Amino acid sequence: MSEDIPFDKSLELIPDTAEEVVPGVRRVMANNPGPFTFKGTISYIVGKGNVAIVDPGPDDPAHIGALLDAVRNETVTAIFVTHTHRDHSPAVPAIKRETGATVYAEGPHRAARPLHIGEHNPLDASADRDFVPDVALKDGQVIEGDGWAIQGVTTPGHTANHMAYALKDKNILFAGDHVMAWATSIVAPPDGAMSDYMASLNKLAKRSETIYLPGHGPAIKDAPRFVNYYILHRKAREASILHRLGKGETDIPSIVRAIYIGIDPRLTGAAGLSVLAHLEDLVARGVVETDGQPAIDGTFRLAR
Ligand SMILES: [Zn+2]
């Protein structure tokens, strides 16, 4: 139930074709539409002449070719990566090889917590474990280019290494998959963690940028209001889970059936992991009990 968020699904982009989204920033959408990627992953080109690329995207020759075409006769000095999902970072080696740009990110892929005994990572296939940045950025660190300055903003939750990027003095934040206009972000253990995710949302709510350019979907023009909707949505989702537990439901599949009405069947697995993310957080806060570690096939009850 996401009707509480005013989603914007208006996006008419021709894949692998550069266009200016706001003055001084171009975007190129990869042709990888899907239930998790909307119409495709969006790569951004910052500046003119000496430029930076944010999120080169998937390892897709057509997309890599389109990005390189868009910056022909320009110099790419920096590549910034928001996180290491396979639709965001695998094009980095090819773009780096052709441009010699320095690669910046928070760090390599890692899970938010260790795997529990007997647990397998359902997200293994989605991670780009080959990615290593040239420079690991700290929260708040600024990289200066020719006519632009980009600041790393750690935003763990969707992945542990997720970093948003503020374009200094331009009122713009590259939000990656942390906040998007078309759908909620997926927070799935063990790579993601709900407590981190909520802390990152609250951190963004205190920032001044009002335009977000996300990894998927259209630009967000009233970002503080939108972040607030995201926070309220997560609190409502948590309340729904507690309500179902109060009604005597104990397992994640039953809770998903009860609260994700009309969900795209391809997203049921992700919805289960999202509920698990909430339950992990609720168990850690002592609000919910389970036997052993919170698990996707575990049983849960309200703490007394
Ligand atoms: Zn992602």
Residue 5's pLDDT is what? Answer: 77
- CB 133, CB 81: distance < 8 Å: yes
**Could you identify the residue written with the tokens 């996401």?**
2
Q: How far is the CA of 36 from the centre of ligand 1 (A)?
A: 8
Mean pLDDT to the nearest integer, 1-28: 85
pLDDT of residue 252 exceeding 70: yes
Distance (angstroms) between ligand 1 centre and the Cα of 40 equals 12
98-128: pLDDT as tens digits: 999 999 999 999 999 888 887 888 777 789 9
Find residue 302's DSSP bridge partners: 288
Query: What residues flank ion ligand 1 with Cβ within 5 A?
Result: 85, 177
From residue 6, how far is each of 37, 107, 227, 233 by CA, in Å? 19, 33, 11, 11
Alpha-helix residue ranges (DSSP H) falling in the chain: 61-70, 92-99, 194-205, 223-246, 252-259, 268-284
Q: How far is the CA of 261 from the centre of ligand 1 (A)?
A: 24
Structure tokens given for 17 = 């074709």
Distance, CA 158 to ligand 1 centroid (Å)?
7
Taking the C-alpha atoms of residue 194 and residue 136, their distance in angstroms, rounded to an integer, is: 24
Which segment of 23-32, 156-165, 267-276 scores lowest on mean pLDDT?
Answer: 267-276
Task: Give the model's pLDDT for residue 62.
Answer: 98
What percent of the chain stands above pLDDT 90? 81
pLDDT of residue 1: 42
Given a cut of 80, is residue 143 above it in pLDDT?
A: yes
Ligand 1 centroid to residue 216 C-alpha, Å: 9
Contact 27, 45 (CB under 8 A): yes
Q: How confident is the model at residue 11 (pLDDT cuts 50, 70, 90)?
A: confident
- Of the listed ranges 32-36, 92-96, 162-166, the one predicted with least confidence: 32-36
- Residue 127 three-state SS: strand
Instruction: Name the residue with higher pLDDT: 56 or 11.
Output: 56
How would residue 186 be classed by pLDDT, with cut points 50, 70 and 90?
confident
The two most distant CA atoms of the chain are separated, in Å, by 66
- How far apart, in Å, are the Cα atoms of 186 and each of 131, 179, 207, 221, 253? 21, 10, 22, 21, 17
Question: What is the CA(175)–ligand 1 centre distance, in A?
Answer: 11
Banded model confidence at residue 50, pLDDT cuts 50, 70, 90: very high
d(CA 291, ligand 1 centre) in Å:
30
CA 176 / ligand 1 centre spacing (Å): 7
- CA 85 – ligand 1 centroid, Å: 5
Among the residue ranges 15-29, 31-45, 191-205, 237-251, the one predicted with the least confidence is 31-45
